[in-house]
Chain A
C-alpha cells in the first residue's frame, strides 16, 4: 500500500466521471495521481452512478447514434435550456471538445449502446453507456488502476491549504485518522452539495427536510465550500437546484432514476388540500418534468398526488412502486389521507371543464379544459374509468447549480479575477459555468468528461514544469 502521506503531482478530490477522466488524463500526461473518493467502493462515482448517457457533438451517424448532432445544434439546445444563462465562449469550447470525447472515452474502455427503450428522442444526440453509468465508471476505474493511479475510498477531504490561490496540501480523513497530502496541483471534482440538507435549508428553510436526494449521499459540497472560503470565485445561483417530482415513497438518498414518474401529463396533480396548482399539460413532458420539483416544493408539506384513471396505466414507463389504487375517487382520497369531498369536487370540476378532442399521448394534442383555473392545456381527458390511481410525489433533488468559476483550461478563477496557479475543477462542482439553469439530458456527463480530461492534463503539465 503506497504511503498516503507522500507527495503527488496531482491530487484529485472526488471519484465520479469528472474525477476519473482527470485522473486518467493526468496520468497519461505523466503525473503521479492520488484520487480521494469520499464514498466506499460500492458507492464510488457520485451521481455518475445514476447516469446513463452523455451528450456529445458528432458530424455523422455512428453504430449507436442515429444521425449527426452538430456543434451549432448542441449550442442552440444548450442556449435554449439555460435561457442564455451560460458562458457562451466556454460552452462553445466545451461543445467543440465534446466531439473528440466520443473517441477518447471509448479508448478508456467505456462502451456504448443504442438509446434505451423509451428514450428514442435521445437516440441521435446522446451516447448511451452499455450497462449504464456504473458500468462506465467501472471501465474508467479499471483503466485508472491499470495506469497506476492511486485511489483511496472513504477518504474525506476536510481541509485545503491554499495561499493566494496556490494549492499546497489537503487534509483528508480515512478510517478516523487524518492524513495530510501535498501535491503540485489540485483538481476539485467532488460534486455539488445537494445531499447536504443543512446547507439546502439555508435557502429553502424547513421545506428541505421533505426533499428526497436522488443521487449519492456523499455529495455534501465540502470541497466546494472549502474553495469558496479560500476566495475562489463562485458561479451559479446558490439557491437553485435541479428538482423533479419523484415518488414520495423513494428512499431519502440514492433512489436514482427508477422513482421517477412520467405520468403528470396524463392526469391531474393535487396538493394535500386536494387542490390543483399548475397546468399539468402545459408542454410535452421532456420539456416540463424539471419544473415539477420546484412546484411541489412550494406546496404545503412538500407533497402532491398525481391522479389518473385506468385508461392511462400503460401510457408511461413503469416505475418502482405501484400506484395506489381505489375503486372510487372517494376511496382513493381515503387511501391518500385527503379530504374526500374536496378531492371529489376537484375531479368533478376538472371533468366538467374537459372539452372533447382527439387524444394523442406523443404530441401536443387538442384535449384541453375550458373555464378551469389553473387550466390543463393538453391531454385533458375525464378521470372516470375505475380503478383510480395515485402516486404521491415529493421534490427529488438531482443536483445544485452553485459552483466555482473556471476558464478554458479548467483552471479556477479567484474572486480577484486572477487565475489560480495550480487549482482546477471539473464536473458538477463547476457545471454552473455552462449550465446556469435548466438541464438537457446527458450534459452533466459532457461537462464532467470534457473538463475532467482538460483539468487532468493541465494539472499534470503544471506539475511537470
Chain B
C-alpha cells in the first residue's frame, strides 16, 4: 500500500499516482505501462524507474483521465513519469561521478561539441597548417589532414568507452528494477522488444494516436522519431560500409556520391535533419501540462546534437572538393566525437533503458500469461 518510501519526491508522486491508476485501470488499453502496473500492488523505486522508462510520453492518458488536473486527485502520469525517467538516467549513469553531467545537460552537450570541434580545428590547423585550407581531391583526401589510423584510433576508443559506460548503466538499471537476467538471454523477448521499439508501438495512444498540443490526437512525433532513429542507423551503417570499403576493398575515402557509404550517409543525414526538426517543433508546441521542464534542456540538446551532426555531414559532402573541406571535416568530426562521448550522459540513454523496459515487459507478460493458464 503506501508503505514504500522513496528516494525522491518525483518517485513518491509516481507511487501515489500509480495507486490511483491501479484502482481505475481505464487506460489499460493505451500502452504497456498500465498493464505492467496492474501486475503490481506496491511500487518501490526500481519498479517506478522501470514503468517510467516503459512510458513513451504519448500523452493520451493525460487527456483521457477524469482525474487529471485541475481535479483534486491531480493525476498527471506523462509528466510525473517523465520526471522519474529523467532522474533515472542520472541515477544509473556510469561512472556514478559523472551523473552530475545530467543536471546541466545542455551545458554538458554544448561544451562537448565545442571542445570536439575546437580540438579538430586546432589539430588540423596546427599540425597540417599547409594543407588545412586548400582543396584536396581524389582518394585519401581526408587523410591529408588526419591519418586514417589516427581517426580509427580516436573514434574506436571513444565508441568503446561509450559502449562500456552504456552497458554498465544498463546493468545497474536492470538490477534495480528487479529484472531477471534470463529475460535478456531469451531471443523471443528481445525480438518482441525490438519490434515494439522499432515500430514505436506504444507511441500511438493504443491506436487512437498520440496527443501533444491539446486533447485531440494528431501528433506526428512517432513519424519524426522514425526519421531520426532510422536516419541515425543509416549513418551508422554508412560508417560500417566505409570501413568495409577501406579494409576489404582497399578503397580510400572520399567515395563517389553513388557509392554505398555516401548513399547511406546522405539518406541518413537527411533523416537527421527532418526528424530532429520535427521533434523540435513538436516540443515547442507541446501542451504545458505535459511538459517536464527539468528534462527539457537535455531533450533539446540531444535533438540539436543529432541535427547538427547530420547537417555538418551533409555540408561536408557538398563542399568536400573545395578549400573548405578542412574546417568542415573538423566540424563534422568534432560533432561526431562529442555525440559519441556524450551518449552515456544525455538523452541517448532513453533508447537503451526503454528497450530494456520493453524486454522486461515482454518477459512479465509471458509470465503472467503462464500464471493465468496454470
**In the assembled complex, which residues on chain B have CB atoms less than 8 Å from the CB atom of A52?**
26
B369 in the interface, Cβ–Cβ < 8 Å? no
With known contacts A113-B29, A116-B25, A132–B66 Cβ distance under 8 A: yes
Return the chain B residue nearest A50 by Cβ: B66
Contact status B26-A318, CB under 8 Å: no
A134 in the interface, Cβ–Cβ < 8 Å? yes
Select which of B1, B64, B73, B216 is within 8 A of A131 by beta carbon: B64
With known contacts A117-B25, A131-B61, A131-B208, A318–B41 Cβ distance under 8 A: yes
B282 in the interface, Cβ–Cβ < 8 Å? no
Contact status A135-B208, CB under 8 Å: yes
A228 in the interface, Cβ–Cβ < 8 Å? no
A257 in the interface, Cβ–Cβ < 8 Å? yes
Question: B40-66, CB under 8 A of A: which get 1 and which 0?
Answer: 010000000000000000001101111
Roughly how many angstroms separate A132 CA and B73 CA in the complex, as a whole number? 17
Roughly how many angstroms separate A50 CA and B66 CA in the complex, as a whole number? 7
List A residues 92-121 near B (Cβ within 8 Å): 111, 113-114, 116-118
Contact status A138-B24, CB under 8 Å: no
Contact status A132-B22, CB under 8 Å: no
List A residues 112-158 near B (Cβ within 8 Å): 113-114, 116-118, 128-135, 138-139, 142
Roughly how many angstroms separate A132 CA and B205 CA in the complex, as a whole number? 12
**In the assembled complex, which residues on chain B have CB atoms less than 8 Å from the CB atom of A251?**
72
Chain B nearest CB from A154 CB (Å) reads: 14
| A-B contact sample (15 more), CB < 8 A, given A132-B65, A138-B63, A320-B23 | A42-B70, A42-B71, A117-B38, A130-B208, A131-B64, A132-B64, A134-B63, A135-B60, A251-B72, A256-B66, A257-B23, A258-B24, A258-B67, A314-B41, A323-B1
Roughly how many angstroms separate A175 CA and B254 CA in the complex, as a whole number? 70
Contact status B23-A117, CB under 8 Å: no
Return the chain A residue nearest B69 by Cβ: A42
Q: What are the 9 A-B residue pairs with the smallest beta carbon separation, nearest first?
A: A132-B26, A113-B29, A131-B64, A322-B1, A135-B64, A258-B23, A319-B23, A49-B66, A134-B66
Select which of B1, B66, B206 is within 8 A of A130 by beta carbon: B206
**In the assembled complex, which residues on chain A have CB atoms less than 8 Å from the CB atom of B67?**
256, 258
Select which of B20, B60, B208 is within 8 A of A320 by beta carbon: B20
Roughly how many angstroms separate A50 CA and B60 CA in the complex, as a whole number? 17
**In the assembled complex, which residues on chain A have CB atoms less than 8 Å from the CB atom of B64?**
131-132, 134-135, 138
Roughly how many angstroms separate A258 CA and B28 CA in the complex, as a whole number? 14
Highest count of chain B CB atoms <10 Å: which of A49, A256, A314? A256
Roughly how many angstroms separate A131 CA and B211 CA in the complex, as a whole number? 13
B9 in the interface, Cβ–Cβ < 8 Å? no
Return the chain A residue nearest B209 by Cβ: A111
The number of residues on chain B lying at the interface, defined by a beta carbon within 8 Å of a beta carbon of chain A, is 33
Select which of A130, A134, A319 is within 8 A of B207 by beta carbon: A130
Contact status A114-B66, CB under 8 Å: no
Chain A nearest CB from B156 CB (Å) reads: 48
Select which of B24, B65, B72, B205 is within 8 A of A257 by beta carbon: B24
With known contacts A130-B207, A142-B216, A320-B19, A113–B28 Cβ distance under 8 A: yes
A373 in the interface, Cβ–Cβ < 8 Å? no
B215 in the interface, Cβ–Cβ < 8 Å? yes
- B contact residues vs A (CB 8 Å cutoff): 1-2, 19-20, 22-30, 35, 38, 41, 60-61, 63-67, 70-73, 205-208, 215-216
**In the assembled complex, which residues on chain B have CB atoms less than 8 Å from the CB atom of A9?**
none
Select which of B60, B71, B205 is within 8 A of A254 by beta carbon: B71
Return the chain B residue nearest A146 by Cβ: B216
Select which of B2, B73, B216 is within 8 A of A322 by beta carbon: B2
**In the assembled complex, which residues on chain B have CB atoms less than 8 Å from the CB atom of A133?**
26, 66
The A/B interface has a contact count, at CB < 8 Å, of 90
Return the chain A residue nearest B208 by Cβ: A111
Roughly how many angstroms separate A118 CA and B24 CA in the complex, as a whole number? 10
**In the assembled complex, which residues on chain B have CB atoms less than 8 Å from the CB atom of A132?**
24, 26-27, 64-66
Roughly how many angstroms separate A317 CA and B207 CA in the complex, as a whole number? 27
Chain B nearest CB from A213 CB (Å) reads: 14
Roughly how many angstroms separate A52 CA and B23 CA in the complex, as a whole number? 13
Contact status A118-B23, CB under 8 Å: no
Chain B nearest CB from A319 CB (Å) reads: 4
Contact status A131-B30, CB under 8 Å: yes
Chain B nearest CB from A186 CB (Å) reads: 28
Contact status B65-A134, CB under 8 Å: yes
Contact status A138-B215, CB under 8 Å: yes
Return the chain A residue nearest B1 by Cβ: A322
Roughly how many angstroms separate A142 CA and B71 CA in the complex, as a whole number? 22
Roughly how many angstroms separate A232 CA and B203 CA in the complex, as a whole number? 50
Roughly how many angstroms separate A256 CA and B70 CA in the complex, as a whole number? 15
Contact status B25-A113, CB under 8 Å: no
Roughly how many angstroms separate A118 CA and B26 CA in the complex, as a whole number? 11
Highest count of chain B CB atoms <10 Å: which of A42, A131, A314? A131
Return the chain A residue nearest B205 by Cβ: A131
Highest count of chain B CB atoms <10 Å: which of A111, A129, A132, A139? A132
Highest count of chain B CB atoms <10 Å: which of A129, A133, A134? A134
Contact status B63-A135, CB under 8 Å: yes
Return the chain B residue nearest A325 by Cβ: B1
Roughly how many angstroms separate A337 CA and B207 CA in the complex, as a whole number? 50
Return the chain B residue nearest A133 by Cβ: B66
**In the assembled complex, which residues on chain A have CB atoms less than 8 Å from the CB atom of B60?**
131, 135
**In the assembled complex, which residues on chain B have CB atoms less than 8 Å from the CB atom of A49?**
66
Roughly how many angstroms separate A293 CA and B26 CA in the complex, as a whole number? 24
Return the chain B residue nearest A114 by Cβ: B29
Roughly how many angstroms separate A320 CA and B205 CA in the complex, as a whole number? 24
Return the chain A residue nearest B21 by Cβ: A258
Roughly how many angstroms separate A113 CA and B23 CA in the complex, as a whole number? 18
Contact status A318-B29, CB under 8 Å: no
Roughly how many angstroms separate A96 CA and B320 CA in the complex, as a whole number? 73
Return the chain A residue nearest B28 by Cβ: A116
Return the chain A residue nearest B206 by Cβ: A130
Chain B nearest CB from A133 CB (Å) reads: 7
Roughly how many angstroms separate A135 CA and B60 CA in the complex, as a whole number? 9
Roughly how many angstroms separate A318 CA and B41 CA in the complex, as a whole number? 8
Return the chain B residue nearest A320 by Cβ: B23
Roughly how many angstroms separate A142 CA and B218 CA in the complex, as a whole number? 12
Select which of A113, A134, A258, A318 is within 8 A of B206 by beta carbon: A113
What are 22 A-B contacts with C-beta separation under 8 Å? A42-B71, A113-B28, A117-B25, A117-B28, A130-B30, A130-B207, A131-B27, A131-B29, A131-B208, A132-B65, A132-B66, A133-B26, A135-B26, A135-B208, A138-B64, A257-B23, A257-B24, A258-B20, A258-B73, A314-B41, A320-B23, A322-B1
**In the assembled complex, which residues on chain A have CB atoms less than 8 Å from the CB atom of B65?**
132, 134
Chain B nearest CB from A43 CB (Å) reads: 8
List A residues 251-265 near B (Cβ within 8 Å): 251, 254, 256-258
**In the assembled complex, which residues on chain A have CB atoms less than 8 Å from the CB atom of B28?**
113, 116-117
Chain B nearest CB from A171 CB (Å) reads: 28
Roughly how many angstroms separate A131 CA and B59 CA in the complex, as a whole number? 12
Return the chain A residue nearest B22 by Cβ: A318
